[in-house]
Amino acid sequence: MKIGIVGYKGRMGKEIKDLFEEKNHEFVWGYDKDGEYFQETPQIIIDFSLPEVFEKTEDYVKKFNVPLIIGTTGLQDEQIEALKALAKDVPVVQSYNFSIGIQLFLKMVDFLKDKIDGWDIEIVETHHRFKKDKPSGTAKMIKESLDKDVPISSLRLGNVAGDHVLYMANLGEVLSISHRALSRRAFAEGVLKSAEFVTNKKNGYFTFTDVI
């Protein structure tokens, strides 16, 4: 696979580039704050950058007519709608979290949500000091899975790759579900699975749940 990465000099971009090259795929195109790197036309574009770069990503996907894997957090509603429109022409995989563990977390939430009426429920998420959006996209996904208006607490500490805890309590007991990403490798592995998933797709809007 010949890949292009928007945000290829960032933390997640470097992790993705390293993993794909380790698996014998080739990095041939990139876009970052310093401009465009071009070796040849990519077969797929991966975007883990910032919402303000979204229009650039959209333009390049249209220009190259290739699939898009996007994990950018903090996207606005109109940007999600633009992705769905783009998916009519090319395959798009959009998720705020590409770890398999979080998918299992969401499955547990789906199982529990109808059994905890009247319980106190809160979400706590912790990420590295450089993460700009609060709350995290993953915390929002957990909240959406609960179908309830649940408070979210956000901590920005050190170099934490990503911790999410869902607390549920009644007057006699506390139940919690937690997920900790030990490194960004967990997310990069999910991106690789997503890239393999869209290889033979002509178009369509997918989430990482569809990939798994």
Asked whether residue 37 is marked as a ligand-binding residue, the answer is: no
**Is 56 labelled a binding residue?**
no
β strands within 21-109, DSSP E: 26-32, 35-38, 44-47, 68-70, 91-94
158 labelled ligand-binding: no
128 is in an annotated binding site: yes
Of 74, 83, 93, nearest in space to 136 by CA: 74
Query: Would residue 84 show up in a list of annotated catalytic residues for this protein?
Result: no
Residue tagged active-site, from 127, 143, 164, 179: 127
Check the annotation: does 71 bind a ligand.
yes
**Token representation of residue 129:** 């000091």
* Annotated binding residue 9: yes
From the CB of residue 47, how many other CB atoms can be counted at a distance below 10 Å? 26
The catalytically annotated residue of 17, 131, 143, 164 is 131
127 is catalytic: yes
119 by Cβ neighbours in 10 Å (0-12 / 13-18 / 19+) ranks as middle
The answer on whether 97 is annotated among ligand-binding residues is: yes
Residue 203 annotated in ligand binding: no
Residue 115 in marked binding region: no
Q: Are 16 and 44 in contact (CB under 8 A)?
A: no
How many helices (DSSP H) and strands (DSSP E) are in the chain? 7, 11
Check the annotation: does 73 bind a ligand.
yes
Alpha-carbon distance of 117 to 96, in angstroms, equals 27
- How far apart, in whole angstroms, are the C-alpha atoms of residue 90 and residue 113? 35
180, β-bridge pairs: 163
* Residue 72 annotated in ligand binding: yes
Annotated binding site: 7-12, 32-33, 71-73, 95-98, 128, 137-138
Annotated binding site for NADP(+): 33
Annotated binding site for NAD(+): 7-12, 32, 71-73, 95-98
| Active-site annotation, residues | 127, 131
Annotated binding site for (S)-2,3,4,5-tetrahydrodipicolinate: 128, 137-138
